[in-house]
Every structure is written in structure tokens, then in C-alpha cells.
Amino acid sequence: MTRVLVVDDDPAIQRAVGIGLRARGYEVLPARDGRTAVQACAEDDPDVVLLDLGLPDLSGVEVLRTVRARNQVPVIVLSARHGSDDKVEALDVGADDYVTKPFGMDELLARVRAAVRRAGPEEPPAPVVTDTFRVELAAKQVFRDGREVRLTPTEWRLLEALVTRPGRLVSQRQLLTEGWGPGYVAETNYLRVYLAGLRRKLEADPSRPRHLITEPGMGYRFVP
């Protein structure tokens, strides 16, 4: 069953869209604010996201930027804003489609179907292998010396953010956003604690890491 995350703080929109989607066999995941939407994208694995730009806590663009940093789930923006600037910004950040309110249910359903078709099945990502550990991205598992290493969900998000960008500097702000959300971008001490924990679990010599490298004052880098 296709899972659709509906992100809108308007109860009438939630009700109408939810009824229309469920009547056609979709599973509906409701979210009334941006933080709930970001969490749902990370934990509930929706197939499509319908995202309103005018949310009560985070802007829809902030939500979209955070979601897009973590995965490529199709996102259809729903907005009462008719200006082209809003549309261009949303598309530039990573939206797949844009529907202006008010909209017809048949049109919305057609766009959902098209987004699902375009997404299609993806090849599973290849494992990331170092001389010390192996990261199975598809299975969300990590192995060291043939034994599985248990990571917390936050540790996994940080490790995934690094190993999927080999050799690239990943900024503190980006890691904090992907690990905890956009409300934590000033909590750089979190990164020191969690990266030290990852090194203890994965590096042969945590005091002299070879793979999870600190770039002082800027961020971190994964070196295969």
C-alpha cells in the first residue's frame, strides 16, 4: 500500500485529502507541523509527501530542505501562495511538483500517481567498506570484524550522512540538522559526543581516527 504523508495544519485540508486518498487505497500519515513531518519522513518511510508551505513552526521550505538532505522521497508542495517566487524556491530546494490551493482531488491524485511512477524501484545502495568496518546502507547495519555493531538511531543518521558523501566536508550545521533537526543547529557539543562514540565503536584507534575525521570549526569528513 502506498503511504502518503500529508503535512498541513488546516484540519479541513487534512480531512478532505485524507478521505480522498483512503478511498482510493492509499495509507495516509497525517502531520500538522514541520517537526512532526521531519520525524515521520525519517521513521515512517512514506512513499510520497504532500507538503504545505505555511506551517506553524518551521516553514515548508525548511522542512523540504531537511527531508531532501536525508532522502529522495517525492515531495509535492501544496500552497495557497500564487507567486512564482515561492514556487521557484520550493522547486530549487527539491520539490518534485507544486499544486496551488484550491485544487481538485482528481488532479492531486493524478500528481501523486505520477510522483510514485517517477520514483520507481531503486537499486539498493552498495555497501561502504573500509579496512575496519562495513556499512550496509540498504539494511541499515554496520559490521566490524564480522560482527554487527549496534548503533542508536542518531548514531546511524550521523554515520549515514558521512559515508554517503565520501571525501566531502559535511558541515556541523548539516550534521546537526540531519541528526536532530533544524532546531539544534547551535548544539555543536552534541556532535563531539556522538562522533567520539562512533569512533569508539568503529575506529581501530579512536584517538587517531582514520575514517571519521574532524575538520576543526567546520564539520566532519568520511575518508574510506
Q: Alpha carbon of 183 to those of 38, 55, 107, 173, 176: distances in Å?
A: 11, 15, 35, 10, 9
Q: What angle do CA 100, 5, 13 make, to 5 degrees?
A: 45
In the DSSP assignment, the letter for residue 87 is H
For the chain, which ranges sit under pLDDT 70? 81-84, 120-123
Cα–Cα distance, 128 to 130 (Å, whole number): 7
pLDDT, residue 174, reads 87
Cα–Cα distance, 163 to 132 (Å, whole number): 14
pLDDT, residue 122, reads 58
pTM listed for this prediction: 0.57
Residue whose entry in the numeric block shows the C-alpha cell 587517531: 208
pLDDT, residue 21, reads 94
Cα–Cα distance, 224 to 211 (Å, whole number): 6
Q: Is 1.10.10.10 the CATH number for 128-222?
A: yes
pLDDT, residue 215, reads 94
Q: Where are the domains of the chain?
A: 3-119, 128-222
| Topology (CATH) of 3-119 | Rossmann fold (3.40.50)
Cα–Cα distance, 212 to 146 (Å, whole number): 20
Residues 136, 137, 141, 143, CA torsion sign = positive
Q: What is the mean pLDDT of the chain?
A: 90
pLDDT, one tens digit per residue, over 70-102 is: 888 999 999 886 666 777 888 888 899 999 888
pLDDT, residue 84, reads 64
Sequence-distant (6+) residues with CB within 8 A of 94 are 64, 65, 67, 68, 75
pLDDT, residue 154, reads 92
Phi/psi of residue 52, nearest 5 degrees? -80, 140
Give yes or no for a contact between 9 and 97, defined as CB atoms under 8 angstroms apart: no
